[in-house]
Structure 1
Amino acid sequence: MLGKYKSFISKIICISVIFLNHSCSKSEDKIDEKENASVSFVENSLPGGELSSQAGIARILVESQSIEWQITIGDVIEGKEFISSVSPADGGSTDSNEKETQIVSVRYNANSSLYINKQELILSSLDGTIKETIVLSQESILADAIQISLNTNSIYQTISGFGAANGIWGSYLNPSEMELALGMGDDALGLSIFRVRLPSDKNSWAGLVDIIKDANSRGVTVLASPWSPPAAWKTNNSTNGGKGVDGGARLLKEHYQDFANYINEYIEYMASNGAKVDVVSIQNEPDYEVDYEGCEYSVDEMHDFVKNYAGVITGARVVAAESFNTKHSYTDAILNDADAVNNIDIVGGHIYGSGLEPYPLVATKGKELWMTEHLLNLGSGGNPENWTEATGQDVIWDETMDMLNEIHTAMTYNWNAYIWWYARRFYSFLGDGLNGTTPGEILKRGYAMSQYSKFIRPGYVRINATSSSSDVKITAYKGDNKVVYVALNTGNSSYRLVVDNLGSSDTAQSYETSLNKNRESVILQEENGQFNMLIEGKSIMTVVMDME
């Protein structure tokens, strides 16, 4: 960084108005052969110290005689540009020998960084014979310090990834949307898990081949979830769920083996076409009766299917039971059965209404724990008027902070993966053209999700991390010779984060998303073995330190 870090202990404000090339000596400056022509800033009107970190106006006097002048905004000496305008920007006269004094208003923007800003202001005569340059200095923001402590030797779960779903019944993501969602380019989100539908109609399988291959080419894990078995194998003879149907909509016992074979056939079909399915589910939300595509299983039925039939599924890992709010009853029976537990690899669940809590039995049995679906959309599923193109960005950001808090909590509870609902939706990561969004545009919620997905890659391990403030929540990870920590500031105030440099470089990279920032990047410079960075209120920051 250009600016030298300003001590937060010292309360001394140094005068930082500097005169450069000051040339207003009456004996040396002559204008149109007038001995008394002159122009200069009035010294006692100049700021006596650093300007406030808040936006404001500095008023400076310009004294002139027999000369016309102008003021221009000059170069940045340290930090960032902060002078926004000067008014008036010119003045003076050659028609009078009387001295004139003009008040000049210098507007400046707020400084929200930990570093002082310094910028030139240049006063010059229009004939070019006089030039005076001063440097205005602006203080850095004052923020309470929070100590972040990391312990790379204290490890927890391995991360499988962060993801979202393809279009399930509507159109699939197009190639450019796939690049934005799953790519690792500068503008991409880096999602590492891609959830697709396992259709109940074999005629729909072919349409998924190319998009699965696209995900494969990026090293992204593909999860396929069925919403329903084929209609002929169900009690209601329909792919729809059992809402309002006597007896519900269940897979007939005599077709358990058929459906296990069907799942296996789907995996084999994709593989034969060069598309790899990494993980398959038994059923999406078996505990939730719906009037669209769905199928219900009781706890006993799910246990029976997994124990006695799911063993034939090969070529992909198996997840169960994807219940509506991760009901442990659906998977406790499986995990505690010596035979059934061998037929699954992952316990998956959704967190609608509840379900986000520790589940230590999963790790005890050597399985992974995935959150495979959730969404937040201001309740617009029940009332579409809740979210319109007029909805304020501050309202949307507050709910996005709820999503980020969910992810943080899932990580601290040792969940291995977090998968959002649709990747492309007005309340998701990419715009769909509805409710004020632009198709294919990365939305604020996408940038927020990428604070995890882009920097915490599959195979990274969570490490111990603590914060000295309850406002700032911390998780940290290591992998690929990097240490990555994510700070979620749930408070309204900005803070200065202080963390020891655990890496081999004297620089680190921070990325921040807030109401006004979209994964904004800053290179951090080590000072006395530590990195200092400013995190805004209600924002998320990811810091990457190289260990090589």
Structure 2
Amino acid sequence: MTSHRNTSPLPGPGSPRRRSVLAAMGALPVLAAAPPAAAAGRAESAAGTAEAAAAVTVNPLAARQTIRGFGGMTHAAWIGDLTAAQRDTAFGNGEGQLGFSVLRIPVPENQADWNRDVATARRAIELGATVIASPWNPPAHMTETFVRGSQTNAKRLRYDSYGAYAQHLNDFTRHLGNNGVSLYAISVQNEPDYAHDWTWWTSGEMVRFLRENAGSLSTRVIAPESFQYVKSFSDPILNDSQALANVDILGAHLYGTPPQNLPYPLFQQRGGGKELWMTEVYHPNSSDSADLWPQALDVGEHMHRALVDGGFQAYVWWYIRRGYGPMREDGRISKRGACMAHFSKYVRPGHVRIDTPANPQSDLYVSAYTGGSQVVIVAVNKRASTVSQSFTLENSNASGMSSWVTDAGRTLASQARIPVSNRTFTAQLPARSVTTFVTA
């Protein structure tokens, strides 16, 4: 593949151009809707009015993956740091805040730059977030150039510098710790398989580093962070017991990943005890305003598919503050951010996704979560009409549901309490909307 490069809106000084086009695929695709349910009575009426459907059963005992959190990236060197107020908007969980619980920061190659993201990381931790870090390049003296296809100046880590590179990552982790930031995990390399502008790794090189050097790292290890969840890059890690033993989080990016490639049977077979995180994406593009509706609703569907189809435990956006991101340049939550917040504000770290019909009606996507006695349901309605949907809460004594909605005219708007009778409630899901329900 050639470099993924056109200029994103509002580029920062020295910022590398981020991906808007994958050269071999064209524009990043909007994920296709799952096929409609086949059950009788679920077809949309000709008039496009609200319709009744079989109740969605939500059983808190049907546990799936534990959720670690939702969040995004700051990169002060490329686009400037978040302000103090923006940090609170991102990681606080009050009204008008995103409720993010994961922050991703870079690992600069030069130690002189290691303080650039510390203030935001420290505030994120104060607000209860988890901080992870990813390197784009090792220190320059550890790298060499080589020929990779048509790229004559491709860069890789020198084979005799693997040990020094592990020490570099440990030194960064220690520096953060000395400055009030306890790093939850560190990546070996950001997008090692799409590195036209940074450092390439082959899957064999990644396996070698994991086998021989990652065991010395002082915090949890993330690998391989393939740009498109390319399984041929992560399969060798899962198939090598020594490499896998030194990985704590299998990390992936979902740029242009089609829905059918989200499940990962080999990880389910061999990744016992490991976590599965989606550590970077923007969706569906970086060219549109994050307030464009209903296009922003694609973010809600994408998150649903990542959590339900992919079984990911974390969902991390690219830049937090950007014209196409969850926070606008003026520091306010965008429509894309509101779609993220329908998950991040209510599905908190430690909540467990529970099994429920994921696509009970055409263009309706439902996921459910539990934390203690609380049940959270997120419903994404991509239809141009209102949808009536009933829910049955098994093993729950809830008497009502609080709810919040985002659609063309509302953003995280609180709605009237819905009573629960005989463990069942019915909701009217507005056209092209995302609604979160929480037992109350």
**Into which bin does the TM-score normalised by the smaller protein fall?**
0.7 to 0.9
SS at match of 1:415: coil
Q: Does 1:236 align with 2:145?
A: yes
The answer (yes or no) to whether the contact 2:74–2:117 under 8 Å persists in 1 is: no
Counterpart of 1:369? 276
Matched, 1:306 2:199: no
Structure 2 CA distance, aligned partners of 1:344 and 1:288? Answer: 21
2:87 corresponding residue in structure 1: 178
Aligned equivalents of 1:242 and 1:231: distance in 2? 19
TM-aligned CA distance change 1:154 to 1:480, over 3 Å: closer
The residue that corresponds to 2:351 in the other structure is 460
Answer yes or no: is the 8 Å Cα contact 1:456–1:484 preserved in 2.
yes
Sort the Cα spacing of 1:527 and 1:431 in 2 relative to 1 into closer, same or farther, 3 A: closer
Which of 1 and 2 has greater Rg?
1
2:50 corresponds to which of 129, 143, 153: 143
1:284 aligns with one of 190, 198, 206: 190
Return the letter of the residue paired with 1:145.
A
* 1:159 counterpart = 2:64: no
Aligned to 1:411: 307
Structure 1 match to 2:386: 494
Matched position secondary structure for 1:465: coil
User: Aligned partners of 1:329, 1:342: CA distance in 2, in Å?
Assistant: 19
- Name the SS for the 1:452 alignment partner: helix
> How far does the alpha carbon of each residue in 1:95-154 deviate from its partner, in whole angstroms, 9 at most, with x for none?
xxxxxxxxxxxxxxxxxxxxxxxxxxxxxxxxxxxxxxxxxxxxxx97322322112221
The answer for the alignment partner of 1:430 in structure 2 is 327
1:347-358 mapped onto 2 (5 Å cutoff)? 347-354=250-257, 356-358=261-263
Query: 1:215 Cα deviation (Å)?
Result: 1.2
Aligned to 1:60: none
Task: Find the aligned partners of 2:152 and 2:340 in 1 and give their Cα distance.
Answer: 41
The Cα of 1:424 is off from its aligned counterpart by: 0.3
Distance 2:286 2:70 in 1: 23
Q: In structure 2, what is the Cα distance between the partners aligned to 1:458 and 1:193?
A: 9
2:132 aligns with one of 215, 218, 223 = 223
1:377 and 1:412 mapped to 2: Cα distance?
Answer: 18
The equivalent position to 2:297 in structure 1, one of 392, 401, 404, is: 401
Q: Structure 1 residue 246: deviation in Å?
A: 1.4
Give the deviation of 1:247 after TM superposition. Answer: 5.2
Say how many residue pairs are matched.
Answer: 383
Query: Which position in structure 2 is the counterpart of 1:118?
Result: none
Instruction: Give, in angstroms, the shift of residue 520 of structure 1.
Output: 1.1
- The alpha carbon displacement at 1:262 in A equals 0.5
The answer as to whether partners of 2:58 and 2:368 remain within 8 angstroms in 1 is: yes
Q: What is the alpha-carbon distance in structure 2 between the residues aligned to residue 378 and residue 215 of structure 1?
A: 26
Letter paired with 2:66: T
Q: What is the DSSP-based 3-state SS (H/G/I as helix, E as strand, rest coil) of the residue aligned with 2:401?
A: strand
**Is 1:533–2:437 an aligned residue pair?**
no
Q: 1:328 to 1:173 in 2, by over 3 A?
A: same
Which residue identity does 1:154 align to in structure 2? A
- Counterparts of 1:308-327 in structure 2 under 5 Å? 308-314=212-218, 316-327=219-230
| Residues 70, 344 of structure 2: 8 Å contact kept | yes
Match of 1:516 in 2: 409
> How big is the shift at 1:323?
1.1
Letter of the aligned partner of 2:421 in structure 1? N
Q: Deviations over 1:239-263 (max 9, x none)?
A: xx98964151101101111111110
Amino acid at match of 1:143: A
Q: Which has the higher contact order (CA 8 A, sep 6+)?
A: 2
Query: Which of 310, 319, 337 is the equivalent residue of 2:240?
Result: 337
| 8 Å Cα contact 1:475-1:487 kept in structure 2 | yes
Contact 1:431/1:442 (<8 A) preserved: yes
Distance apart, 1:497 and its partner CA: 2.3
Query: Deviation per CA, 1:315-364, whole angstroms, max 9, x where unpaired?
Result: x2111011111111222111121211111111111111226511133243
Higher strand share: 1
CA RMSD after TM alignment = 2.2
C-alpha change, 1:536 and 1:525, in structure 2 (3 Å) is closer
Q: Which residue of 1 aligns with 2:15?
A: none
1:242·1:295 contact (CA, 8 Å) conserved in 2? no
CA contact (8 A) 2:251 2:276 kept: yes
Alignment of 1:8-157 (within 5 A): 143-146=50-53, 147-157=55-65
Instruction: Determine the structure 1 residue equivalent to 2:366.
Output: 474
Say if 2:398 and 2:420, in contact at 8 Å, map to a contact too: no
Task: Give the Cα separation in 2 of the matches to 1:468 and 1:332.
Answer: 33
SS of residue in 2 equivalent to 1:186: coil
Describe the shift of the 1:427–1:507 C-alpha distance in structure 2 as closer, same or farther (beyond 3 A): same
Asked if the contact 1:267–1:277 (Cα under 8 Å) also holds between the matched residues in 2, the reply is yes
1:102 aligns to what? Answer: none
- How far did residue 207 of structure 1 move? 2.6
Q: CA deviation at 1:538?
A: 1.3
Cα separation, 1, equivalents of 2:120 and 2:184 = 14
Which residue identity lines up with residue 215 of structure 2 in the other structure? G
